[in-house]
A and B are shown apart, each in its own frame.
Chain A
Amino acid sequence: MKRIFYIIITLSIIIFVTKACIKQDIPQPEITVLRPKTQITDVEYPADQKNVSISGSDYLQSQAPVGSFGGTLVASTIGEGPKTFNPFNSKDNISSLMSDIMYDGLLTTHPLTGQPIPKLAKSFEIENHTDYIIHLRKGINWSDGKPITADDVVFTWKDIIFGGYGNTSIRDSVIIDGELPRVYKIDNYTVKFVTPKPFAPFVSLLSAPIAPKHVFEPAVKKGRAYFDTFLSTNSDPKIFVTSGAFRLQEYVPAQRVVFARNPNYYMINTQNKKLPYLNKLVYLIVGDVNNEVLKFEGGELDVIGLQGANVARFKELEKHSDFTVYNIGPDTGTMYLAMNLNTRRNDEGKFYVDPIKQIWFQDKNFRTAVDYAIDRKNMVLNIANGLAQPLFTAESLNSIFLNKNLPTYQRDLYKSKELLKKSGFYWDKSGKLFDKFGHRVEFNLVTNAGNTEREAIGVMVKQDLEDLGMKVNFKPIEFNSLVNKLVSTLDWDMVIMGFTGSPLEPNGGKNVWLSDGTLHVFNMRLEKDMNSKRFDFENRIDYLFTQGALETDFHERKKFYDEYQEIVYNEKPMIYIYSPLRIYAIRNKFKNVFPTSLGGITYNLEEIFISKGGN
């Protein structure tokens, strides 16, 4: 009797447990994908900021609606948090973000047009394509009350940046033919930069932060090793002297960075009151995306960047919650598929790429066929939840240098097959593809394991190419091994990778596009191969990038970069896939939020305020 009882109990538990599983197997009703509109709508941008002089001080006047003072904005960063607060030492995005909040540069970029506009400087002029004359604001001060003058600017550029202190990436990128630009103090409020040759990217480098001389000079005098540890994360927040809207108040490792309002900030509102409105700005340091989402839902965060499935859920929640979801357009990163165009041999005399495959990859028809076989739209829908835009150009979709004349196209298997036939490829009865010498078309496709997005793209590319009868061996491999393959051993056939890009400065991609660049992935030249033969299109891109950097007029300059994008579009050394959209949610209590594709959502921290009367 007792035994029967136990059996019944056990069985019923098993049934209950399996019931839950059974339910999962029944197809769920189709979830409607909520796709936010692709452009930012119903945002009315205020007029551009103006320079206003009040009793001898040149302020920057915000034209945004006047708000109320006080309050805190809590944002977040994913990862380990900042590694330094020294703007000249930062090598990672989070550290740069933190120092950008505290230290303003002479210039900044217009959030809508992307053109350089004055920030810490009052105005600037470019003469003879090489002379940059910067007029500084009179009567504005550092957060400790000392005036900001030409000495600070000259010191920053001459001693810190050109002196090679800290992270030398700015210095590395302004060396023109082995020569550094020169910087002169004209008077207390005027500085002149002279580049040895016309060099267009220089103007965007003028957004580099300016350091207070009276704080940084002693550190510079103590030498490079000391400078590397100067203003590290262990420094006392009190020693920070800043020009930006906020200064450091507290850093709690692995938890948060707290910034307090800089009372001496040089921006005012239309009632001539000093900005920023917010009293405090907090960045929580969170370990991963999931925790970030939980914190936003728990009310601990005010603004969040959203991805994938969360977007649909937040869009649903938005109706009865206190936040708004903004879609600020495509990301600046580019995801691509590249074939190895290398024809050289390694030290042991072996080809990096199997000569049989070389013939295919060198064939423009083959590359174009691959491009037309790829179903970008399908990937956008299935991998990015519809939250992405197909990409066909080397510059990202929000780049101000984007060549808008290059048409987009759909998947076209018929065209692919025609192109392959033209190059002598043929199919056997079972649909397998062979080249004109009778070799079966089979190659490896790699990407980095662990990146689920790229792995998913890899699977879909494999399927798409198998429709052409190719045999694709898709292998996600560990990130470090992949990088090693791409930049050192060069023994790969086809790869799916992504690069970060800048929407403002195409010259940042020169390491990828110059034929001797350090990341010229599709035809990487190691030290010993530097003088090897170039493709015609490589030579042309080399020319375009070199000339493009020398031209300072935007429209003239754009012609060079338009042509390079067209060449890449036609030659297809890299086949671009899609750009994810950037989606943000921010609480409704924050006003003066004017998201732009270039600036993001909180670029105008000085102007953002918390409305007192709720919504």
Chain B
Amino acid sequence: MEILKYILKRILQTIPLLIIVSLISFFIIRLSPVDPLAELKLNPSVSKETLQRETERLGLDKPIIVQYGKWAKAFLRGDLGITSNGEQVSAKLKERIPNTLLLTVIVIFLSWSVGVPLGVIAAVNWKSPLDRILTVLTSIGMAIPSFFLAVLLLILAVKTGWFPVGGLTSSNFMDMSFSQKVIDVTRHLILPVTVLFTLSLAGLQRQMRANLLDVLDSDYVKFARAKGVGEFSVIYKHALRNAVNPMITLLGFEFAGLLSGAALTEYVFQYPGLGRLILEAVLKSDINLVMASLMMGAIMLVVGNLIADILLIITDPRIRQKNGGQA
């Protein structure tokens, strides 16, 4: 019951936040000097009538505040509007969301299932050669910019021919059997996943290691050890539980990154994901598409934080207590 009340409160808090986000982004896009019709205006074969029609169709002849009002009204009804090419924004997003999810879910799954254990191992074997090696590797991973690593891997793909150069499926994908399709998609995914995995693994491993080291240094761990509790039990039962809290907050942010995240990597690998779509939309000032993606990002961030908070309530009795106390 307390939790439900808390969730409701949090959801209500997000409403003004979303309104402010939408207002700021709408006005910034519209006030930027990008004219969605500039290309058409400079094409000798486009008639004045066509330009006039396009202006009216995109609603550019009305003041910004009216445009915003129209957009907000439609958004509330669940209508994301149409792109500057006349396609449904929702259909456009639907095409891309599965691809982006496929990539990000794999990356998050891999980096968490590898990064967290590696962090624990490094912390437990603090200052051992293994820890040192991991430190060097993760430092490298954090230092390489994602687009640079992506370009390096692309060159590898071209030179060796082991991997396809970007994309998600081969051109004869439709004629393949199911198992061939799985192999084809896997081959295409290896490089982008490697890039994103390297980056997020490094961060996660460092974070986990630092958290656990902090906890291992605390008094209650020393006390447990002094009491003669077994080392295994000290680390995995007492220390790890306390060290994992900041990681849960981090998980909330990762959730927000599910649908945005990797525009640069997607662009270099020509991956048909949301990041590329949105990048192109921003460059063309395709307002409905940009707004839809920004709102999606904001909502995902809010939801991610909410999930993290709920998880924290479940894992951390202290927070549970505090909330209970307030209510």
Give me the interface of A with B, judged by CB distance under 8 Å.
Answer: 72, 74, 80, 83-84, 91, 167-169, 172-173, 228-229, 232-234, 249-250, 252-256, 258, 282, 284, 286-287, 291, 294-295, 297-300, 478-481, 483-484, 486-487, 497, 499-502, 508-509, 511-512, 518-519
Partner of A479, one of B38, B40, B167: B38
- What 1/0 flags go to B32-64 for Cβ under 8 Å of A? 011100101111111111110000000000000
5 A-B contact pairs sorted by A residue (CB < 8 Å): A234-B88, A253-B95, A254-B96, A294-B165, A501-B44
Measured between beta carbons, the chain A residues less than 8 angstroms from B325 are none
Find the A residue at minimum CB distance from B188. Answer: A255
In the bound complex, residues from chain B placing their C-beta under 8 Å from that of A84 are 85-86
Q: How far, in angstroms, from A47 to B49 measured CA to CA in the complex?
A: 43
Q: How far is the CA of A199 from the CA of B104 in the complex (A)?
A: 58
**Do the beta carbons of A480 and B44 come within 8 Å of each other?**
no
Q: What's the minimum C-beta distance from B161 to chain A, rounded to whole angstroms?
A: 7
CB within 8 Å of A: which of B166-189? Answer: 166-169, 171-174
The answer to whether A297 touches B87 (Cβ under 8 A) is: no
- CB closest residue in chain A, given B34: A480
Q: Is B276 among interface residues, defined by CB-CB distance under 8 A?
A: yes
Q: Flag whether B197 is at the interface (Cβ < 8 A).
A: no
Pair A298/B41 contact, Cβ less than 8 Å: no
Contact indicator B35/A483 (Cβ below 8 Å): yes
The 5 closest A-B pairs by CB, nearest first: A254-B272, A298-B165, A83-B85, A480-B35, A172-B47
Determine the residue in chain A with the shortest Cβ distance to B84: A83
B: residues with CB less than 8 A from A are 33-35, 38, 40-51, 85-88, 91-92, 95-96, 154, 157-158, 161, 164-169, 171-174, 267-268, 270, 272, 276-277, 280
Residue of A at shortest CB range from B173? A252
Of B49, B158, B171, the contact of A258 (CB 8 Å cutoff):
B171
**Alpha-carbon gap, A96 to B51, bound state (A):** 19
Question: In the bound complex, do residue A282 and residue B86 qualify as a contact, i.e. CB atoms below 8 Å apart?
Answer: no
Residue from A228, A250, A282, A499 within 8 A of B44 (CB atoms) = A499
Q: Which of B45, B166, B171, B280 contacts A169 (CB 8 A)?
A: B45
Q: A172-B49, A253-B95 are in contact. Are A229 and B158 (CB under 8 A)?
A: no
**Measured CA separation A252–B86 after assembly (Å):** 18
Q: Is the CB of A298 within 8 A of B174?
A: no
- Residue from B41, B51, B167, B277 within 8 A of A255 (CB atoms): B167
Query: Given contacts A252-B169, A256-B171, A291-B270, are A298 and B158 in contact (CB under 8 A)?
Result: yes
Task: Say which residue of B44, B96, B166, B172 sits within 8 Å of A295 (CB atoms).
Answer: B166
Q: Which A residues lie within 8 Å of B43 (CB)? A: 500
Say how far A580's CB is from chain B's closest CB, in angstroms. Answer: 18
Instruction: For B50, list chain A residues within 8 Å (CB).
Output: 167-169, 172
Q: Contact: B166 with A253, CB < 8 Å?
A: no
Q: CB-nearest residue of chain A relative to B170?
A: A300
| Residue ID in chain B nearest A527 by CB atoms | B48
B174 touches A258 (CB 8 A): yes
**A254-B272, A511-B46 known; 18 other A-B pairs, CB under 8 Å?**
A168-B47, A172-B50, A173-B45, A228-B86, A233-B87, A234-B87, A234-B88, A253-B92, A284-B171, A286-B270, A295-B165, A298-B165, A300-B165, A480-B33, A484-B35, A486-B42, A512-B44, A518-B51
State A484–B42 Cα separation when bound (angstroms): 10
Taking CB atoms, residues of chain A closer than 8 Å to B48 are: 518
Most A CB atoms within 10 A — which of B51, B164, B272?
B272
Indicate if the CB atoms of A291 and B166 lie closer than 8 Å: yes
Q: How far is the CB of A528 from chain B (nearest CB, A)?
A: 15
Residues of B contacting A511 in the complex (Cβ-Cβ under 8 angstroms): 44-47
Q: Tell me whether B276 and A83 are in contact (CB under 8 A).
A: no
Name B168's closest neighbour in chain A (CB-CB). Answer: A255
A312 to B277, CA, bound (A): 33
Residue of A nearest to B151 (CB): A290
Contacts of A258 in B (CB 8 A): 171, 174
Q: A299 near B174 (CB under 8 angstroms)?
A: no
Q: Is the CB of B96 within 8 A of A287?
A: no
- Residues of B within 8 Å of A481, CB to CB, are 33
Knowing A80-B280, A295-B165, A298-B161, say if A483 contacts B42 (CB, 8 Å): yes
Residues of B within 8 A of A497 (CB): 42
**Is there an interface contact between A287 and B270, defined as CB atoms closer than 8 Å?**
yes
Cα–Cα, bound, A167→B42 (Å): 17
Query: What separation, in Å, do the CA atoms of A486 and B41 have in the docked complex?
Result: 10
Return chain B residues, CB-CB under 8 Å to A486: 42
Closest to B172 in A: A72
What are the residues of chain A within 8 A of B167 when measuring CB–CB?
255-256, 284
A552 to B31, CA, bound (A): 49
Residues in B neighbouring A502, C-beta threshold 8 A: 45
Q: A483-B41, A518-B47 are in contact. Are A287 and B168 (CB under 8 A)?
A: no
Does the CB pair B91–A250 fall under 8 Å? no
Give Cα distance in the complex from A253 to B273, angstroms.
Answer: 10
A168 to B158, CA, bound (A): 44
Whether A169 lies near B44 (C-beta < 8 A) is no
Chain B residues in 8 Å Cβ range of A167: 50
Residue contact B174 to A249, C-beta cutoff 8 Å: yes
Once bound together, how far apart are the Cα atoms of A156 and B92, in whole Å?
30
- Chain B residue with Cβ nearest A233: B87
Whether the Cβ atoms of A253 and B272 lie closer than 8 Å is: yes
Docked complex Cα distance between A252 and B49 (Å)? 33
Q: Identify the interface centre among B42, B88, B158: most chain A CB within 10 Å of its CB.
A: B42
